[in-house]
Amino acid sequence: MKLFIDSADVSEVSALVKSGLGLIDGVTTNPSLIAQSGASIHERIKELCAVVEGPVSAEVTATSFDGMLEEGKALAAIAKNVAVKVPLTEEGLRCCHALSREGTAVNVTLCFSSAQALLAAKAGASFISPFVGRLDDIGHDGLQLIEEILDIYRAHDFATEVLVASVRHTGHVTAAARLGAHVATLPPKVFRALYKHPLTDRGLRAFLDDWEKTKQTIL
């Protein structure tokens, strides 16, 4: 399973890529993350594309088909590894279809149902982004949606990759991995939490305390 970082903070992404043992396969951004960063979208996407080799999702903000297509083309021109992100609306899917036919990778975002995911796959999306955390927030089961979409995509051999988004904790990541999701995009805090277990910390402390008593050194 591929792991993306859900952030527009280039220094944070860069630090994770450098320390990540090749674990970071791409980046996702959205208009809120770009706004939080305070950077220009063109500059920031260019910087992120230089930091990671894999796809960097950059989202359109127009809502009409023509507007999305024009913005999508401008974003795709920033770097070869841009994936244009479009919302799961009728116009968004038309734009996905048009861009995909031209060979541009498209990530269809704000997916909350398997019916929407079916349409995105038929529209030629490279990625579908179901938002598990936001579904959990309203008392639905986000991971159930991932299972449904994977069943549909497998049954019909769709090439669209399921990109689990709106990830809130490590349990979302491991459950998505067990289900066979292709990608999960993680806030940096959740990525770092994947390394952590209290028994690892406690065990290491005990080993080092015992080792110190021996007064030995290895080198």
Rounded least distance, CB 33 to ligand E4P, Å: 7
Q: Which residue has the tokens 């979208």?
A: 41
Rounded least distance, CB 63 to ligand E4P, Å: 17
Nearer to ligand E4P, 29 or 104 (CB): 29
The C-alpha atoms of residue 15 and residue 188 are separated, in whole angstroms, by 10
Q: Which DSSP symbol is given to 133?
A: H
Q: Which DSSP symbol is given to 81?
A: T
**Catalytic residue flag (residue 85):** yes
Tokens representing residue 145 in the block:
């949606």
CB atoms within 10 A of CB 79: 15
Which residues of this chain interact with ligand E4P, rule CB under 6 A?
Answer: 6, 28, 30, 109, 129, 131, 133-134, 165-166, 185
- Comparing C-alpha atoms, which of 214, 200, 111 is closest to residue 161? 111
Q: Select the residue whose beta carbon is closest to ligand E4P and give its number.
A: 166
H-assigned helices in 10-141: 10-19, 31-37, 41-51, 65-76, 90-101, 114-122, 132-137
- Supply the Cα-derived Rg of the chain in whole angstroms: 20
Q: Please, which residues bridge with residue 5 across strands? A: 27, 186
Rounded least distance, CB 185 to ligand E4P, Å: 5
Instruction: State the chain's maximal CA–CA distance in angstroms.
Output: 72
**Annotated catalytic residue: which of 2, 73, 85, 215?**
85
- With contact defined as beta carbons under 8 Å apart, do 51 and 80 qualify? no
- The backbone torsions φ and ψ at residue 158, rounded to the nearest 5 degrees and listed phi first, read -70, 140
Rounded least distance, CB 211 to ligand E4P, Å: 42
Enzyme catalytic residues: 85
